[in-house]
Structure formats: structure tokens, C-alpha cells
Amino acid sequence: MPTGYRHTRDDVIYPEDEYELTEDGRIPIPYRRTAKYRDGNTIDWLHEEGIERERNHALQSQAGIRGILLPALESARMWFIVIVTGMGIGIAGAWLDVLVKWLGDLREGRCSYGFFYNSNACCTGLDPGEVCQEWQTWGNYFHVKSILGNSMLQASIYVVLAIAFAGSAALLVVTYAPHAFHTGIPEIKAILGGYVFDSFLTPWTLIIKALGLALSVASGLSLGKEGPLVHVACCMAYLLTRLFKEFRHNEAQKRRVLAAAAAAGVSVAFGSPLGGVLFGLEELDTFANESDVMWRGFVASAIAAVALQWVNPFGTAKLVLFQVTFVSDTWRAFELIPWVTLGVIGGVLGSLLIKLNVEIALYRRNSVLRDWPILEVVSVSAVTAAISYLIVFARVQTSELVANLFQECDPTKGDYHGLCNPTATLENVFLLCLTAILKIVLTSWTFGMMVPAGIFLPTIGIGACLGRAMGLIMQSLYRAYPTAWIFLSCPPDPSVRCISPGFYAVIGASAMLGGVTRMTISLIVILFELTGALSHVLPIMICIMTSKWVGDALGKDGIYTVWIAMRRYPWLPPANYRDSGETAASLMKPLNRVVVIEDGVTTVGELQDLLANYDFHGFPIMDSHTEFVGYATKDELRTVLDRLQLDQNEVDLAKKCTFSQNRLRVAAEERVDLSDALEDSIIQLRKEVPQELVVNMFQKLNLRQILFTHAGKLTGLVTKRDVVDLLTSHFPHAAALSEHPQQHS
Amino acid sequence: MPTGYRHTRDDVIYPEDEYELTEDGRIPIPYRRTAKYRDGNTIDWLHEEGIERERNHALQSQAGIRGILLPALESARMWFIVIVTGMGIGIAGAWLDVLVKWLGDLREGRCSYGFFYNSNACCTGLDPGEVCQEWQTWGNYFHVKSILGNSMLQASIYVVLAIAFAGSAALLVVTYAPHAFHTGIPEIKAILGGYVFDSFLTPWTLIIKALGLALSVASGLSLGKEGPLVHVACCMAYLLTRLFKEFRHNEAQKRRVLAAAAAAGVSVAFGSPLGGVLFGLEELDTFANESDVMWRGFVASAIAAVALQWVNPFGTAKLVLFQVTFVSDTWRAFELIPWVTLGVIGGVLGSLLIKLNVEIALYRRNSVLRDWPILEVVSVSAVTAAISYLIVFARVQTSELVANLFQECDPTKGDYHGLCNPTATLENVFLLCLTAILKIVLTSWTFGMMVPAGIFLPTIGIGACLGRAMGLIMQSLYRAYPTAWIFLSCPPDPSVRCISPGFYAVIGASAMLGGVTRMTISLIVILFELTGALSHVLPIMICIMTSKWVGDALGKDGIYTVWIAMRRYPWLPPANYRDSGETAASLMKPLNRVVVIEDGVTTVGELQDLLANYDFHGFPIMDSHTEFVGYATKDELRTVLDRLQLDQNEVDLAKKCTFSQNRLRVAAEERVDLSDALEDSIIQLRKEVPQELVVNMFQKLNLRQILFTHAGKLTGLVTKRDVVDLLTSHFPHAAALSEHPQQHS
């Protein structure tokens, strides 16, 4: 037996003893056909469905009460994981919020009566108007009297702690869980689409990503917690699936659970249970395939939101993060002009941010930075902290900035850094635009460094700055020319409010998000649930429409799609593909380039060599006249060969492998029957079919390969990788950041 | 030539002269392959996509500027239809609202200074608190002084006008457009899935449905306008598609436009632009297939909402129909008990309503009622009006009732029929339950009569009554025992509000809708946009979850699915199908029951007989050794035969038809080459594949047939109809109301 074969066997994820052999030493039916994938593979949905099907039939055919109870237990396990994941991520999300708030506040000061109180908790129980004495800035705490000394101390603690937080996040990630960097959404999209990436979902990744996320968010780097929370939720669900055999052994079932977990993650990240479901529907593109999956996502999402609300980290008992209270419930037609303009700006800047981010990622990969990831994080966080400290709007956490920018000016509530001062409009607009530009540059750099980092919140921050600036401009125009024809629909008295700059900030955030992520429906729902701005659904829709249109004109893909292409994950974009007249023949790997097994000709020894030498997922089987017989995966072939060895102790390597009735041509003592290894679900096409149809079938049926035959003869094969390469061929940097070596069929 | 052939030719929808023959008398490429379907057929998506593909390539391959302009023009036409339909349905919806309001008010009285003013328009411009003198009840108008005489007059005018309105609606529908009855959603689901039903979308149907809808809603029958508005929107889009050749000639393109129109219809019906998109996504199950379609639905939906808001029929400038203003923004955990109870009640009563509706529909079909549709409508409307007049909550239009039930009690706004009187709780609960029961019975009967009728609003009404009753019970419990442990989380002072009965009504409506329609996500979004109750997303989600679970346990299908099954439309439910071990073989029509064409054997005369005698959509072609050659649709075969006749004047009927290289075996003068008629996109499977996979492929790829081969030999065929029959086999009354005769493959 070739050593290659042995060696690969050791890599198998599930050791043999988990099979629970039956009394006569055979592998029991439900577990017999077990797929064994390694990281970097793509699962075969049809094959996994086949396993599931066999399992279900085996369970249902159990006699008596077992035949009823066992399937019910199956489904109960699925729901158990969904519900526990929902609760887990809800609670984890809430406590992460608390941790981030405390770490963030620590950069400015401490609570006099307890180190572990954040500024809000420290100052509770005060009467309105009373000044909080309990929260001490570091200057106060160290009794620094001089103003200069005070600000120097504040600034240096601010910067040093930022560096410490970001550095330790990077250290954790680099040392313990390299996969915990970045947002995680591209990987999860790929995993849900069938990519095998188990090391991305380990318990270590879970812990490091959660801890690192808290540290990196608190460090004030330009990043958000939204995407990474989805990753954390998926890690939790994955951990739970390890408890049950039927999930460990079935990659399709595992993905169904992960989809629900991802929805729960979004639900917690934005406090948006409905947005979570729609994110799963639109961005993860998983629910389209099965209504059950959507249903479970729905439940997980609701439970996660309940758990979050129950923990109630900040005592507001509200899911709406950035409550928006508009003074007027109506909007006026002329406002569509600035709003559509914001949409255009969002589309342009969103595409710019994506391009910049790609260039920086390529530079990072190909320069000396590659070897110094922690140093990079430390330097960027130092620069971020130093610059941010100078600009008043950039100094606070992005979430606080956004909350204030979304707020309308209200004389009774106090003015946020002079934002409502009508005489300082120009300064404010300048500062806001400066903050936006700074954040675009910093975000492009930060998103891709070795720390957990989401893109959502910084994008909202950039958009909110731009939107608020536009709102301030419109407001000052209105104040200057209240009787101009464009403002005719406003009340003639300029002291009455007509323009709501806070809502302009919401519009700006929508535009920017549309430009960066290219999401539509789920984005709108998330923005509603985030702001409560239901009465203004139409402007948000129109603005997202515009920004998506403009963005698509400047570059077809959103930032997640771009990262998927760069890392070369085998993920099929759901976009409509239109060929320009090609047939499948131009995509197909012709027969002479395919490794095949010949029915009744290939010997057991040759087969073992094939299995050891080729990294293909499976092999087509044909007879000596190129007549197509079937397809068998490598794993099935191995399982069947193993079983033969169990039965017969030693298989004669010179015996011929047969798969069909052709075995009659080979004498009984000269052959071994491997027909058990044949796949049931084989899709055959003719090579004359339009390429569109082939791509479409891969997209909708989640196939791994299609075999091409003509008049019963095998002519070639197309794998998922071929289709992915076809669909990403327009993107210049495809596979630039690919981790795994070139995968074969 | 058999006369049957000629005869069928006359039925062809698009006359020959539309082909725009080229100078040499040939049919130009883009229009050559034209599908001709008749009502009751199912379209072949792959075939239609093929036509579209050929058209696109023909357009793009045009030289110079035409090659750029023509494809752009194509896409511009699509957008033109989407935008015009959006605007059209927005405006039509607004004016229908005005018409309904006026007709409805006419049943109670008239405006003294103008017959065509409704009560609101008549009483505008009054100071708050001033009593409207201009709106006269009929008693006032006819100067009837005695109280008895007055109420007799009011009641009789109320009943007589109800009968007149409902009767004329039924008369219009029965006489001019029988397809304008009912909601239209089941038909639209079927049409979007590929069913051909052009007579359902004619201009006549459009006019009658819109007019009849206004009349039937104003008559006070227990029905809503929501579903029919979707039908009206689709009729509008269909009318617009008739303007452009590429839509007339392509059923797939037509359906893409109709999907956007349906979304716009929902958007207008509920004032819910986002709900429209999600309705398309979840209930119509069309957007899942193509992101472009979702995108167009999104635009159509937004434009329709803008148009509605622009017309602004009631001067509120708000899309939110039933604005809910909660006194408290928070809810308490103990409230989940009554809410989940409402969910259970909604699930049970929803299933009951569906079952009752089915029984009544079957009774109507099989009894004498079938011949007296107008009389039935008149009697039911008389009964409805008479009973409704007696019950105070049933007397007003359902939309007004719902708006009031959703409203919290507010001492400054006046009490709606004593609903807020704390001493009359028991009477109110009794009246509300009575109204709900009455409405369940009336709705079950009304939904299916020969008038346009939607199920949404009555369902909301029933649910709101039940929910409000539950809220009143909880409120009086709280008032009686404010210190009980269950109310511990409420403020201890019972004069402070803790329970919001208005929100209980919203929950009740959600539960009932969940039970009747079995929608989830889109329902939640529609309810938000309808009520503005964003802060209470979680209770609504939990309640809909419960009611769907309970409802599914009592009967798997929602009311639309049930009607589709009863009318036997070839629509595939998107539900996951799990076989119990069957393979495709058990579903397949075996070769000996399939009519096939033999390559090189069948003569032209025999082929013409085949085409004339069989109503199949197409025929598989095999050679004399049952070796599979291809598949050709009837229409393609006819087109190719026609072309032969054009070229050669007279085709010898004894010549053999050849489709492949087998023609070499037949002498050149003895054969005609029909290989042009072969379909490009043919899906072949082996009959050993699991039934699940076959069903899955039909669902996801929108197939019309799958051919089964083994080692190149044809073994059988499965059509969409076979799969539909398989999936509806669990429903006892499948095809009970079928209109069209049994369709063949």
C-alpha cells in the first residue's frame, strides 16, 4: 500500500472509533457513508443530502416507538442548538458591550468608588442637571493641576492605552488564532456556500475573536463589532454541533445551523432581529434554498434579541441603538435633491473605500508588512489615536459619534461639541468632512489588519458625518434664504424647523453603507431597526437605490465579495450570469484531461495509487468504450475498499474493480465489486447546453460537479471551481490573498 | 394536411404578420423561435431563456452604434414598464381609496353642499371640538323627525345600498370578467411560477376588478382590498408589456415584470414599500431566483409608495395606515403569556377559517349555488349588512374598526363606542368576541364569492377584535389585583397605565394573519409599516412564530396554497420535500407511455398527425434503438415545418424526419432535416436518482420536464404536472375547483 494513502488517512477529521461498529464489526448504515473533508475542500451538497436521506430513512424505519422518537429527537437537537446559540450570542453580545464600554472609558478616566464601573454606571442615580463628581479623568485622579500637564497626561494615556489594547488584540490573534482577524463575513459566506474551513470555527477562535474584538473596539481603531459578532455566533453554533454525531458527520446539516447562528449574530450586533433574518436572506444567500432554514434563522434571531434585551447591558431596555426622534414626521420633495446627492456621494466614496482597501491589502501582502503584523497594528493604532485625539468628532467611540450625529438639535438637551451652534456651521461642516476623510483612510487600512474588525460601524460613521454636513449646509441655506422658491414648501418662518440635519445623517449612513456593502433590503431593515425611523422609509430606500446604482457602475462587487474573490474562496455569487453565446463546451474540462476509473479495467492497486496521488474530490467511472458508468467520491471509494479489507483480510491488488453489470465480462474471482461507492445523485448534461444553464445549475442546486455525456459516452466535467473562476474572472486581483494552494476537483 | 392542425394554428396568440419577415421572406432570427402558449399551459423557462439569449446575442452582435443602443433600449423598456406600473398602481390605489370612502359614507348620509364629498372632506376646516353640521345623515336629509322612523330609514338605506353595491359588483364580474372575482393572489403565484393565464390579466379584468373592488368594499361585505390591488397592478403591467414585442413574445420576461408589479401592488395596498418587496420574496417566491427581479420589485415598490403619498388621498401625507402610538415604549415579560395565548388562538382560528372556507367553496361548487352567483352575493350582502348594523363594532368599515382598535385609550380624544369605559369591560369583551366570530363566518363565506375580495383586512379585523378583548381582560385583571405577583413589574399605582390594549389588538391581528396566511417575515414587515410599532418587534415576531407553529400543526398550508391546490394550478410549493426512499423511477412516466418521435423513421405526415392529435407540450426524440436524440417542443416543430413549406412550397408527407447525424442512414431525397427544432437546454437524469433531487430541480430551476436516460437510452420522462400532483397529494380537495381540463405534458 502506498504510504501517501496511509498518510492522508491520519488527516481524517473523525477517527474510526467514532463509527460505533456494530456487533459483527461492520460500520452501521447511518454512519457508513461519511464524508470526510479537509479544510479547503468544497462539500458536495448532493452527497451530503444523500447521507442525510439514508440516515432519516434508517431512523424512520426503526420499529415501534423508536421510529417515532428518534426522528423527533433529531429535530429537537437541531432546535436545541439554534435556541442555545441564540441565547448564547445574545448574552455574549451584551457582555461584550459592557466590556467595550468599560475599556473605552478607561482611556479617559476612572470611577472614584470602583475601578470596574464604566462612566455611565459610575454616574447613575444623579438628579437631572447634577454634575457627575464620581467619574474622574486621569488628570483629576493624579491631581495634575496645570492645564498643559493635564492635557498631556490625558492624551498620552489615551494613546498608550489605545496601543496597549490594539497590540494585545493583535498579539492574541497572531499567537493563538490567526483566523480570528478581519470581519469573518466573507469566510462565513463561503462556508455557508459549501467551503470547508473548520479551523475558522474552533473554540480558540471563538474566545480570541470575542476578547480581541472587545480590545480592538476599545482601542479606538476605525472598526466595528458587527461582522465579528456574526463570526462569534457561528463559532458557538459550531461548538454545539460537535456535541451531536449527526451534525459532526453531515456538512449540510452543519451549514443549516450555522446560517441560523449568523442571523442571530446580526440580530445582536445591530439589535435588529428582523434585519438578522434579512441579512441571512440577502447577503448570505442561504435561506433562498430552504424555507426551513429561514424559519430557524427567524427563531434564532428573535431569541438572541430577547436575550440581549434581558441582559439589558445599559439599562435602556431598548433594542433600538441609535434612537432617532424627528421633530417632523414629514419630509418635503425638494429634500430629495440633497438626499440623492448623498446617494451619489455614498456610491462613489464606497467604491473608493473598497478600491483603497484592496490596494492596501495587496501592499500588506506583498511588502515587508507581511512579517510584522503586530507592529503594523501598533503603529496604526498609535497614529489613529494621536490624530483622533486632535479632532473632536473622531475622539469618541464611533458608536457614540453616530448616536449624536443622528440626534436632532434640541435646546433642552445640550449641544454636542457645538454641533447645533448656528454661527459655527462652516467650522462644523469642515470638521465633519475632515472626520469623514480621516475615517475613510483609516478604515481602509484597518479593515484587513490582524485584529478582529467589522466594516459596518466605521462606514455608518463616515456616512453620518457626510450626511450631517449636508444637513447643516441645507439648514444654513434655508436660514439664509427662507423665501427662495426651493424652500416654498417649508413654513415661511425660519425659526420653525424645516430641515432635520439628524435625518440627513441617517441618509448619509445609508448611502455609505449601500456603496460599501451593496446590500439593499436587509440594509434598509437594519437601518430602521437601528434608528426607528420608520416614517422615513422612502427616502432611505431611494438613497440606497441611488448609491447602489452609482456604486455598481464604478465596480460591480461589494466589499465582502471582493474579499472572497481575493482569498479565492469557492463561493458562487448569486448574480445573474449571462453568457455571450458560449456553450458548456468552453467551460468543460474535456475527457482527455480528466482522471477516470475504467470499469472492469482499473485494478485495486491502480485505484489505491489514484486515491493516493490525486487530490481530486472524486472520479468519473466509464467502461472501456468511454460509456459513462457513474461517479464515485474518493471518500466513498476508500470506505468501500476499507470494508473489503475488513471482510477479506487481504485484497489482491491485481483484482479488477467493477461498478456495473459489466462485471459479468470479468470472471468472478478476478474482480471486486465496488458499485456501493457510486453516487446516486449525478447530474449529466450535454456539452451543447448554454453556459448560462450550467452556471445557473451550480448556483441554484449547490452542485460540486456536472458530468457531460453524449449518447451515453462521457465527454467531460465541470467543477464548482471552474464556475467560480469564470464568475470572478472580471476582478483583477482574484486569488491575490489566497491561503490554500490551488484546489483540484 | 389534417384539419386539426389548421384549426390549432388559428388559436395562436400572435398572428404571423407580427413576425416582420426579412426581405427574403424568412422569419428573422430574434423572432423566429417564438413560444406560443395557450391558457392552461405551463411555460418552459429554459426554452424562454433560450429565446431571450438568442435575442440578446442578435442585438449585441448588431454592428456599430446599434449594437450598443439596442440592448440599452431593451433594458430601458423594462424599466419603463416597472416605473409606469409603479406610478399607475400608486395613483389608482389612492383614487380607489377615495371612491371607497365616498361610497361607504353614502350608506350613512350625504354632504349638504355637494353630493360628491365624503364625510371627511365635507367636514374639513372645522375648529377642534366644533360639531360638523354639513354632513347630514339620511334621516336629517329627509327631515324624518321620529326616532323610530329615523333609525328605520337609516338601517334600510344602509342595507339597500349594501345590496346595490355588492349586487352591481357581482353583476359586473359575472357579466364582463369572471376572472376578476376572489383575491387573485393564488393565480398570480401560479402565473409567476410559469402558468399561462392571459385571460386573467386582460384590460377588462383590470377595469372590472378595480370598479368591482370599490363597490364590494363599500358594500360592507367582509373583505379587503389588498389582494385584489395586487391583481390590478399585475393587469396594468401586463397591459404595458403588450406594447413591446420582446415582452409579448417572451413569457419569462413578462413574468419578471409581473413580479415587480405585484410588489408594487402590496406596497400600495398596505402603504408598505418594504413589505411589498418582502411579500414578493416570501409569498410569491419569485425573487429568490434572480436578484435583478428583487431589485426591480424594490424600485416599483418605492415608486408606487411615492405616487400614493403624492396623491395623498386623505391629506395625512403618511404611509402608515393605522398609526399606533403606544403610551409606553417598553413591554413586560409577563405579557408574553397573553401574547403567546393570542398566538395559539390565532393559529387555531386561522386553520378553522381556512377549513370553513374550503368547505363552503366546495359546497358552492357542488350545489345549486353554482348557478346563482349574483343571487348568492346579494343574499350574503343583505345578511352581512343586516347583522352588521346591529353590532356597533361591525357596522363601520373594517379599516375604521381596526384603526380604532389599534388606538390606545386617550381621554383627550374621546371614547370609541365606549371601548375605554372601565366599567363596561365585560360588555366590550363580549361584543368584540361576537364581532370576531361573526366576521370569521362571514369572511369564510365571502372569500370565494363572485366579487373581488381580499382576505387580509377581515383577518386583521378578526385578530384585532380578539386581541383587544384579551387586552381588556388583562387590563381589568390589573385594575382588580394591581399587587398580584404577576403584575409585580408594573407600577404599583393602578392609575398609571401598565397594559396597552391597543397593542394587544396589533398582536391579535398578527396572530390571526399568521394563522391564515402562514407568512412570516413579510407579515412582520407589513405589520410594522402598517402600524409603526417598531419598538415592539419582538412580541410580534414571537406571536407570529407561535401562530404559524400551531397553524402548521393543524394543517400544513396557508389559504393561498389551499386555493392553488383546489384550482389545480401547476404551482410548486417551495417547501422542502423529503421522500421516504423513493427514486425518480416511481414518479417517472416510463417510455412505453410516452409519445416519442423516431429519428429517421417518423414521416412528415405522421409528425403532423402527432402534432394535431396530442396536446403535449413537446416530444422526446429517439432513434430506432431507443438511443436518446433530443427533445423538441410542439411549437418548434410547427415553426420548422412551416418554414420548410415556405421554402419548398409542398413537403412530401412521406419524407422521413431526421434530427441528428442519423440522417446519413436515410437517403437525402427521402428526408427532411428538422434538427433546428431541437432544444438546447435539456436536463437528463438517471431514474435511480432520489425523488428529492428531482423535486428539488423542478423547484429551483423552474423546469417543465426532465428526461431520463440510461447509458444513452431514453427510459422515461417527468413533467411539472407530475411533481405538482406529488406535492399536493396530501391535500384532500386537490383539484376540486379546477377550471381547465386535465393538462398533459
Give me the residue from B302, B575, B576 closest to A545, CB to CB. B302
Predicted local distance difference test score (pLDDT) of residue B19 = 40
SS3 A678: strand
DSSP A584: G
Structural domains for chain B: 3-58 (no CATH), 77-123+132-311 (1.10.3080.10), 333-567 (1.10.3080.10), 584-727 (3.10.580.10)
Q: Does position B669 have pLDDT exceeding 80, yes or no?
A: no
Contacts of B291 in chain A (CB under 8 A): 574-576
CB atoms within 10 A of CB B710: 16
- Alpha helix stretches (DSSP H) within A624-719: 634-648, 691-701
DSSP A24: T
| A window 348-367, beta carbon within 8 A of B | none
Predicted local distance difference test score (pLDDT) of residue B7 = 31
What is the mean predicted confidence (pLDDT) over B436-449?
92
Q: Does position B234 have pLDDT exceeding 90, yes or no?
A: yes
Give me the residue from A274, A520, A696 closest to B525, CB to CB. A274
User: pLDDT tens digit string along A283-306?
Assistant: 776 655 566 777 788 888 888 888
Q: Which three cell numbers stand for residue B187?
A: 393565480
Angle at A182 between CA A180 and CA A187, to 5 degrees: 80
- Residue-by-residue DSSP string for A391-440: SHHHHS-HHHHHHHHHSPP-GGG--STTTT-GGGHHHHHHHHHHHHHHHH
DSSP A627: B
SS3 B654: coil
Backbone torsions φ then ψ of A590, nearest 5 degrees: -70, 165
What is the mean predicted confidence (pLDDT) over B514-539?
81
**Minimal CA–CA distance to B254: which of B550, B43, B412, B25?**
B43
Provide the shortest C-alpha distance from residue A288 to chain B (in Å). Answer: 6
- Report the C-alpha gap between B302 and B309 in whole angstroms: 11
Backbone torsions φ then ψ of A740, nearest 5 degrees: -85, 150
Q: Which three cell numbers stand for residue A276?
A: 438578522
Q: Does position B29 have pLDDT exceeding 50, yes or no?
A: no
Residues 6+ apart with CB under 8 A from B363: B369
Are A113 and A125 a contacting pair, CB within 8 Å? no
Q: What is the mean pLDDT of each run of 10 residues along chain A (745 residues)?
A: 31 35 44 58 79 79 78 83 91 88 85 79 72 80 83 87 92 88 88 86 91 90 89 92 81 86 89 82 65 80 84 62 63 86 95 93 88 90 88 81 84 73 85 92 91 91 93 88 80 72 90 90 81 76 89 88 88 78 84 84 84 84 82 84 76 78 66 80 83 85 85 85 85 73 42
Are B673 and B663 a contacting pair, CB within 8 Å? yes
| B window 10-49, beta carbon within 8 A of A | 46, 49
CB distance B689–A709 less than 8 Å? Answer: no
Rounded to 5, what percent of chain A is helix, strand, coil?
60, 5, 30
Contacts of A278 in chain B (CB under 8 A): 278, 521
- Report the C-alpha gap between A672 and B46 in whole angstroms: 42
Contacts of A289 in chain B (CB under 8 A): 700
Q: Which three cell numbers stand for residue A439?
A: 475615517
pTM: 0.83
**Cβ of residue A580 closer than 8 Å to a chain B Cβ:** yes
Sign of CA dihedral B160, B166, B167, B168: positive
Residue of A nearest to B310 (CA): A333
- Report the C-alpha gap between B185 and B283 in whole angstroms: 9
User: pLDDT tens digit string along B583-613?
Assistant: 888 888 888 888 888 888 888 888 888 888 8
Are B50 and B676 a contacting pair, CB within 8 Å? no
**Minimal CA–CA distance to B513: which of B462, B475, B479?**
B462
Contacts of B690 in chain A (CB under 8 A): 49-50, 53, 680-681
Interhelix angle B691-701/A691-701, rounded to 10 degrees, is 120
Q: Does position B15 have pLDDT exceeding 60, yes or no?
A: no
- Report the C-alpha gap between B432 and A412 in whole angstroms: 44
Q: Does position B345 have pLDDT exceeding 80, yes or no?
A: yes
User: pLDDT tens digit string along A527-584?
Assistant: 877 777 666 777 888 899 889 889 988 988 889 989 988 888 888 887 777 777 788 8
What is the mean predicted confidence (pLDDT) over B479-497?
76
Contacts of A299 in chain B (CB under 8 A): 545
Q: Does position B298 have pLDDT exceeding 70, yes or no?
A: yes
- Report the C-alpha gap between B8 and A599 in whole angstroms: 51
- Report the C-alpha gap between A423 and A716 in whole angstroms: 73
- Report the C-alpha gap between B456 and B513 in whole angstroms: 7
Predicted local distance difference test score (pLDDT) of residue A518 = 87
- Report the C-alpha gap between A26 and A659 in whole angstroms: 21
Are B378 and B540 a contacting pair, CB within 8 Å? no
Contacts of B532 in chain A (CB under 8 A): 534-535
Contacts of B329 in chain A (CB under 8 A): 318
Are A677 and A634 a contacting pair, CB within 8 Å? no
Best to test chain A binding among B296, B339, B537, B694 (most A CBs inside 10 Å): B537
Chain A to chain B Cβ contacts (< 8 Å): 181
ipTM of the complex: 0.78
**Minimal CA–CA distance to A385: which of A138, A159, A109, A156?**
A159
Are A535 and B318 a contacting pair, CB within 8 Å? yes
What is the mean predicted confidence (pLDDT) over B433-455?
91
CB atoms within 10 A of CB B718: 25
Are B275 and B522 a contacting pair, CB within 8 Å? yes
User: pLDDT tens digit string along B31-87?
Assistant: 444 446 777 778 877 778 777 788 878 877 777 787 778 778 888 888 889 999 999
- Residue-by-residue DSSP string for B575-644: SPP--SS-BGGGTSEEGGGS--EETTTSBHHHHHHHHHH---SEEEEE-TT-BEEEEEEHHHHHHHHHHH
**Cβ of residue B149 closer than 8 Å to a chain A Cβ:** no
More confident residue, B489 or B313: B489
- Alpha helix stretches (DSSP H) within A626-686: 634-648
- Report the C-alpha gap between B505 and A683 in whole angstroms: 52
CB distance B538–A302 less than 8 Å? Answer: yes
CB distance B298–A329 less than 8 Å? Answer: no
CB distance A537–B682 less than 8 Å? Answer: no
User: pLDDT tens digit string along B550-590?
Assistant: 998 898 888 998 998 888 888 888 777 777 778 888 888 88
**Minimal CA–CA distance to B93: which of B505, B454, B448, B561?**
B454
Residues 6+ apart with CB under 8 A from B375: none
Backbone torsions φ then ψ of B432, nearest 5 degrees: -65, -45
Per DSSP bridges, beta strands B705-710 and B656-658 are unpaired
Residue of A nearest to B660 (CA): A711
| B window 624-683, beta carbon within 8 A of A | 627-628, 680-683
Predicted local distance difference test score (pLDDT) of residue A284 = 73
Residue of A nearest to B293 (CA): A576
Extract long-range pairs of B557-560: CB within 8 Å, 24+ residues apart: B557/B354, B557/B518, B557/B731, B558/B354, B558/B516, B558/B517, B558/B518, B558/B519, B559/B353, B559/B354, B559/B357, B559/B447, B559/B455, B559/B516, B559/B517, B560/B183, B560/B185, B560/B186, B560/B189, B560/B283, B560/B517
Give me the residue from B320, B330, B576 closest to A317, CB to CB. B330
